Amino acid sequence: MQDLATPLIVMGLLFFVGLAADRIGRQLRLPRVTLLLGFGLVVGQAGFDLLPDAITDLYQVVAIVALSAVAVLLGSSLSLETLRGHGRIVIIVSLSVVLVTQAVVSLGLWGFGLPLALALVLGALATATDPAATYDVIDQSGQDSSFTKRLKGIVAIDDAWGLLTFSLTMLALRLFGDTTGTSEGSSPLVVAAYELGGSIALGVAIGWPGAFLIGRFSDGEPLRIEALGLIFLTAGLSLMLDLSYLIAGMTVGAVIVNHTRHNSRAFAEVRSFEWPFLIVFFVLAGATLDAKALVLAGGAGFAYALLRILGRIIGGWIGGAAARAPKQEQRYYGAAMLPQAGVAIGMALAASEQLPAYGDQITALAIGTTAGFELIGPVVTAYVLSRQGKAAKPD
């Protein structure tokens, strides 16, 4: 029993850290995400290494549950009503941000002197966004404006575009002989089609009956249990089938929001248990990051970070202009999408297997710059929302 005491005490303390981060964040107008990640860096392996293994071993499970809940909430922003009003902007801006970021980072790093294959892979990694951090900053701001609705929609689908871009990039490199290749019948294009199509199909298969069952039996606490059941079921089946629990979760949220009249309570229940998971997730995310990785990446890491920022801002501005978004919003879309986390690291690990010659550099650069973007990105997002909040009116 003594072995269980320390993990339980640490978990209790982490929840109080979450409360403190929320209070301090409101007082200093800092994103609580950044505070929690910073705390994780201090107490984790890059700092004083104070967390017991029993806690850090929970990271993978907590991350999946937390991100699945975030994905469902992001999917709830894709209601037909919202898409009718903002759909053109959401689709065009998200595509523009992904494509321009890929082009700017890849061409810039190639010009910086990196091999073309490595530059293309890093450009694909740069397209990934952290939906959890972005969504939490929006939630913390308390804003419900046209800009935040569009931003939620953009964040909800841009990782899908990013995954597709990454898969097509790896396919192109394989065709030109720059990777170790894959086994027969498992080309990146086939894998991408299976992952995207299968994840959407799974989300529909779970979301459709879920939309019918949510709130049918009883109100209150059982509604929370239904929401938890849908999230755990979606995440578990996605992992078992080698699908994306992010895309599947977003599909579940989109199906429910469009096929359930009284869906607000269901999503309110998801929000009620989402934050405790996110507290542990962000602290452990910071605790598992290697602060020395950015140094190991060298000048390429610094160039990558600058080029990604530039690509996001230019892509958001071009997309906003092409979609005829309000002029006061066009220059802010890309800047609000700087946070980056698990999807980019997952891409990096997959790329390292297919490009073993550049594996160490890819991994070090991805982990190092992700740490920087996770700490700085939410601050920039919060600043953008504060600027927009002064001009935007709630819808």
Q: What domains can be seen in the chain, in order of their start residue?
A: 56-391 (1.20.1530.20)
Specify the residue for token string 């850090």: 56
Per-residue pLDDT band for 221 (boundaries 50, 70, 90) equals: low
pTM of the full structure: 0.69
Q: What is the mean pLDDT of residues 366-384?
A: 81
How many C-beta atoms surround the C-beta of residue 268 within 10 A? 12
Tokens representing residue 89 in the block? 């902007």
- Dihedral in degrees, nearest 10, Cα atoms 206, 210, 211, 217: 170
pLDDT digits (tens, 9 = 90+) for 65-88: 887 887 788 777 677 776 666 678
* CA angle (120 as vertex; 102, 299 as ends), nearest 5: 90
**Which string of b and e fits 360-382 if b means at least 16 CB within 10 Å?**
ebbbbbbbbbbbbbbbebbbbbb
Residue 358 DSSP label: G
Q: Answer for the pair 387, 147: CB distance below 8 angstroms, yes or no.
A: no
Q: In the prediction, which pLDDT does 178 show?
A: 59
pLDDT band at 282 (very low <50, low <70, confident <90, very high): confident
pLDDT band of residue 395 (cuts 50, 70, 90) is: very low
pLDDT band for position 378 (cuts 50, 70, 90) = confident
- Supply angle C-alpha 150, 107, 342, rounded to 5: 50
Residue spans of alpha helices (H) in 114-180: 116-125, 131-141, 146-175
pLDDT band at 183 (very low <50, low <70, confident <90, very high): very low
User: For 225-263, what is each residue's pLDDT tens digit?
Assistant: 888 888 999 999 999 998 888 788 888 988 988 887 666
